[in-house]
Amino acid sequence: MAAAQVAGSLPSGPAQEAQREPPLEQGRGFRCLSARLCALRPDDSSSSRTEIHLLFDQLISENYSEGSGVAPEDVSTLLVHACRLVPLNQNHLVSKLSQLIHHLLNTLQVIVDEQNLDFLLAYTISAIQQCSSWTHMQILQALAALVYCNGSKCQKYLPDLLGKSGLLMKLSDLAQSDPEVRRAAVHCMANLCLSVPGQPYLEEPYQNICFQAFLTTLQSPKSSDMDDITFCMLLQNALKGIQSLLNGGKMKLTQTDALGALLAVLKKTMFHGLPGLNIEMPTVLYPTPLPQCDGRPPIKPQQTESSTSRPAVNKRKKSKVKVKKIQQGEEEEEESSGEREVAPVTGSGRLNPHKGDTQCPSSLGVPSLPLAGSGAAGKDQVSSSFSSSIWKRVSSSESDYSDAEGGMQSKVRSYQAKVRQGALACFLSTIKSIEKKVLYGYWSAFVPDTPELGSPQSVSLMTLTLKDPSPKTRACALQVLSAILEGSKQFLSVAEDTSDHRRAFTPFSVMIASSIKELHRCLLLALVAESSSQTLTQIIKCLANLVSNSPYNRLKLSLLTKVWNQIKPYIRHKDVNVRVSSLTLLGAIVSTHAPLPEVQLLLQQPCSSGLSNSNSATPHVSPPDWWKKAPSGPFLEEATVSSPKVSSEPCWLIRLCISIVVLPKEDACSGSDAGCTGGSTYEPFPLRLEALQVLAHLARGYFSMTQVYLMELGEVICKCLGEADPSVQLHGAKLLEELGTGLIQQYKPDSSIAPDQRVPVTLVVMFWTVMLNGPLPRALQNSEHPTLQASACDALSSILPEAFSNLLSDRQILCITMLLGLNDSKNRLVKAATSRALGVYVLFPCLRQDVIFVADTANAILMSLQDKSLNVRAKAAWSLGNLTDTLIVNMETPDPSFQEEFSGLLLLKMLRSAIEASKDKDKVKSNAVRALGNLLHFLQPSHIEKPRFAEIIEEAIQALISTVLIEAAMKVRWNACYAMGNVFKNSALPLGTALWTSQAYNALTSVVTSCKNFKVRIRSAAALSVPGKREHYGSVDQYAQIWNALVTALQKSEDTTDFLEFKYCASLRTQICQALIHLLSLASASDLSCIKETLELNGDMVQSYIIQFLKSGTERDDTGAPHSPQERDQMVKTALEHISSVQTLAGDTSKRAIMGFLEDILTVYFDPSGSQVALLGLTNRCPGF
């Protein structure tokens, strides 16, 4: 269709005719024959039939080379006219016409237009209905070619084809006597299911009909009258149809039986024809964490003896050159030269590969793999190339093989391999169409587990990886396993293998740990045995996926050590894909659960450790010191003097990555180095980028080792930022950001790094001076590459505050000026990164008291808050929150000059912007309410007295109240409660007398008693305990409402249906008890009767929780509550002292009752052995408490 449209739109004229002249010459034979055929008129004479036969034969035998100049519309017109010439009672002519339709559409790659398709479909359907059965095979082939990529245009014929008595349903039925006709009918159905992007999918009822037909086909055994090749092609077509439904049709497998049935046939089919295996599967697989019986027949004793008597040897077959014919809907693909003999199945069901095999194939039928490291895009490319390569147009012709090419046995093996690959492709599509949590119910059916002593290993995806003779099938199995492992971190996190389990049953956690260990063992076996570079790459990528998702902190040591030692030789493999994936795996090791002590030791290994290992298939290892040509620079000597000596042993991996990035390559790129460009003196780009990613992982997880190379890495970053390639610059900027973040972490107040082990501030200043004097400013100004600009902004925001204050003033000004200037960028990535960087800088101690800088930053942030991009507004709101934090810090300093100089008009603008932002999306709202709380806290009496502030204050508080109450994200409500607490801290606000007081307290009491999230409850209880005076709580009724709400909240502190909330129960009770004691310490005489009534009803419960609060540990919760025992019991004593001082009317028993309640608490709390303290001289006790 596309070709027809393009051809039809070309302008006419001499020039255009000249351009089209060669194709016209090429297509002259077709046009002559077409003209002769179109000149004929329907005639039932014998001579006419003979002439039509002759023209059909000539059209079929015509040589249609690429670019033959035949227009698609000409082909469609010819076929329509041919159908008009051939009556349906002429079986031989109908058969020849069907061959012509199939041949022309396949050879010329023509998709028939809708108008002609309608006529041709009607003709072929009538032909099947009326012609003899021996013609059905050819007619079905023609029908398959017609409906290919045209399924959405066949709607009106679907009842005739797929209805209850539809032609394809009858012909594909198990009762069909002719196996070739049955295969062709299934092929037609598969082509009908193939959808084209942008066109409607097959309707759901027909999808279900086809799915069931394909499933039945796959479940049915081979009939006695069907040969092996036909059966393989039948299975291929059924698998292709299911994959088309899952991919293009977006079919959802929501029913357990349908999914289980599909997985059962896929598991069976993925081992189809594999030598040494013949498994029987149940009709349906059901989700279970336990291993499932695969019904494999027992191994014969003589096989075991023979297999153990000789080693299994990897063999290569000679490279075969095959002529590949591309036809409609089916394909023949050549197997590569990397085939290997399958080791006979031993008693344990395991492969014993010969480790010395170093042969590598020259070519493979595996889809070419993307060279870009471990990114998500790379993974997507691999999957899509795999999926699309399996289902090209498969030829049904048997002429692709000859006796010289291996004979019938070789041909059958090739077809069987195609079935296994098709099953794996279909499995990959199935994985993408279901949720991971559903998939993991079938984990044990496809992922190996450590076999029990004496029992064979169950068949799994690793069986194919280790034993399949086809390298392409091995690669496909590894891609499926990678897809299963991807995103499995949460599922695998339950694994537990840190202690011996001697129980009557195997816990689920131990079973998963056993499966993880077996995956490591099998993949490392496959790594050693593999001879194909492309499949080797898939093994290493699969290992990287496994490493990224495995919980090594819960497993026994040595798993990572084995992977580490096995992969090191492949760092110098001749194939660039293998080298890149090896670095990806090393990056996964140093980033998983970092820092791990096991990995720390591996990084400190001597440089040559493991690099001379000969276990790999084709590692090309240079001398151990090949990477020691360290880059030198004018400041390295000085840096070495002042750098802390954290490790006496240099980290070989850092040295390796630095050398890959900066040193020229030692020899010319091999033929497989796809990343090489003519004249390039460095390693291929993908390898250099992956090395930079590994350095970034090391800086993030093992900074104590990376810091030794700080200045050397600075040179690497400068070199990367100075290169022309934006991707190298980008990775250099990312590495700079990670190094900066690592330095900041060292100097945090809660850092566990000893001061003498930190990088000295002087060295950090030197490092950043080099960065700012180098190419970093140019990267910040590179408007042609906004992603690089944004990354450079992120890097600039990672500067250590202590180092920034020691930079030269012109460097400080450079940083500030560039950030404020970039805030005007039109690119949303740059603007978001700049907004965030300004939010970091405004917290710097050397800048936060600079009124001009804070005001400039505020104006820049307020401008970004109006941006159309949600991401920009979210970053700006976060920065506004930080800026208001700075206002609070400045307010708490003795010097009042900042408050006096800061513009009241700017404060008003900030309040208005924050109020508007609080109505935005949750990402913006959460920080907008934080800013509102800080701003209302910062307001001075001079501001509050002004009339123009009164209305905005009321509006801001109403915005907070509504945010506390709305059903928003819990982070938003938490921040709103926190902000409300900040508002209560401003004694200048009319808290207690203003109309909004009761609304604010009502909102908080509602949350503390009923919010599903306990962290929000904790924060609301903390806010209720902020006011420092009784009058701030308003009327007696208001006080009573707050008191009763807190008692109710304490009573309901364990009422939750969410198991995850239980861990916050203790913190919630702690905060509520603190709030109750605080309220007691402020109570007036009018409040005592309400308190007494509550204690009469719930006194025992409240008393027990307060005693628990006094005795609880010293953990600090997120509210900043006092956490020492002395502070806690002092709160109760203070409350008791206050109650005793309250003047009450004669005869009022409330005071005595409350005092007795508190005294009882202190009595129980203190040691009953006699070391009780005098309770402040208060001896009045109430016997009722």
Measured distance CA(920)–CA(873) in Å, rounded: 9
Task: Name the helix (H) or strand (E) containing 812.
Answer: helix 809-822
State the average pLDDT over residues 992-1009. 93
Could you tell me which residue, 771 or 507, shows the higher pLDDT? 771
- Residue 664 three-state SS: strand
Do you find a cis peptide bond into 1027, omega within 30 degrees of 0? no
Q: Which residue's entry shows tokens 């292709």? A: 240
**Would the CA dihedral through 554, 559, 561, 563 be positive or negative?**
negative
Give residue 894's pLDDT. 83
Give residue 607's pLDDT. 61
Q: What percent of the chain stands above pLDDT 90? A: 54
pLDDT in tens, 812-860: 999 999 999 999 999 999 999 999 999 999 999 999 999 999 999 999 9
CB-count exposure of residue 175 (10 Å: 0-12, 13-18, 19+):
exposed
State the average pLDDT over residues 1075-1079. 94
pTM of the model: 0.80
DSSP category for residue 1180: -
Confidence of residue 338 (pLDDT cuts 50, 70, 90): very low
pLDDT in tens, 192-243: 998 887 778 888 888 889 999 999 999 999 888 889 999 999 999 999 999 9
Three-class HEC string of 186-199: HHHHHHHHCCCCCC
Confidence of residue 390 (pLDDT cuts 50, 70, 90): very low
Could you tell me which residue, 527 or 254, shows the higher pLDDT? 527
Give residue 384's pLDDT. 40
Mean pLDDT for all residues in the chain: 81
pLDDT in tens, 1123-1152: 677 888 888 899 999 989 988 776 678 889
Measured distance CA(220)–CA(276) in Å, rounded: 21
Confidence of residue 377 (pLDDT cuts 50, 70, 90): very low
**Which residue type, as a one-letter code, is found at position 800?**
L
Q: Does residue 424 have a pLDDT over 50?
A: yes
Q: Does residue 324 have a pLDDT over 60?
A: no
Angle, helices 136-147 vs 179-193, to 10°: value is: 10
For residue 266, give the nearest of 480, 530, 71, 13 by alpha carbon: 480
Measured distance CA(29)–CA(61) in Å, rounded: 11
Least confident of 600-614, 682-696, 871-885, 967-981: 600-614
- Residue 330 three-state SS: strand
Give residue 198's pLDDT. 77
DSSP category for residue 678: T
Least confident of 80-94, 442-456, 625-639, 890-904: 625-639
pLDDT in tens, 147-200: 998 888 888 889 999 988 889 999 998 888 889 999 999 999 999 998 887 778
Q: Which two tokens stand for residue 975?
A: 């921040």
State the average pLDDT over residues 636-655. 59
Q: Does residue 963 have a pLDDT over 90?
A: yes
Could you tell me which residue, 515 or 636, shows the higher pLDDT? 515
How far CA 553 is from CA of 188, 490, 494, 593, in Å, comes to 53, 14, 11, 7
Give residue 210's pLDDT. 92
Q: Does residue 980 have a pLDDT over 80?
A: yes
Confidence of residue 342 (pLDDT cuts 50, 70, 90): very low
User: Which residues does residue 664 pair with via DSSP β-bridges, in sequence order?
Assistant: 682
pLDDT in tens, 1092-1131: 999 998 889 999 999 888 887 544 445 545 567 788 888 8
Q: Which residues are CB-contacts of 755 (< 8 A; sequence separation ≥ 6)? A: none
Q: Does residue 11 have a pLDDT over 60?
A: no
Triad 741, 744, 748: Cα angle to 5°:
135
Q: Which two tokens stand for residue 574?
A: 């001749």
Give residue 453's pLDDT. 62
pLDDT in tens, 16-25: 433 334 444 5
Give residue 54's pLDDT. 92
Q: Which residue's entry shows tokens 């060669």? A: 22
Confidence of residue 1053 (pLDDT cuts 50, 70, 90): confident
User: 475 and 420 in contact (C-beta within 8 Å)?
Assistant: no
Give residue 586's pLDDT. 96
DSSP category for residue 317: P
How far CA 1054 is from CA of 45, 46, 1021, 1067, in Å, comes to 95, 95, 15, 11
Measured distance CA(325)–CA(102) in Å, rounded: 14
Give residue 1167's pLDDT. 57
Least confident of 402-411, 524-533, 572-581, 937-946: 402-411
Q: Does residue 15 have a pLDDT over 70?
A: no
Q: Does residue 777 have a pLDDT over 60?
A: yes
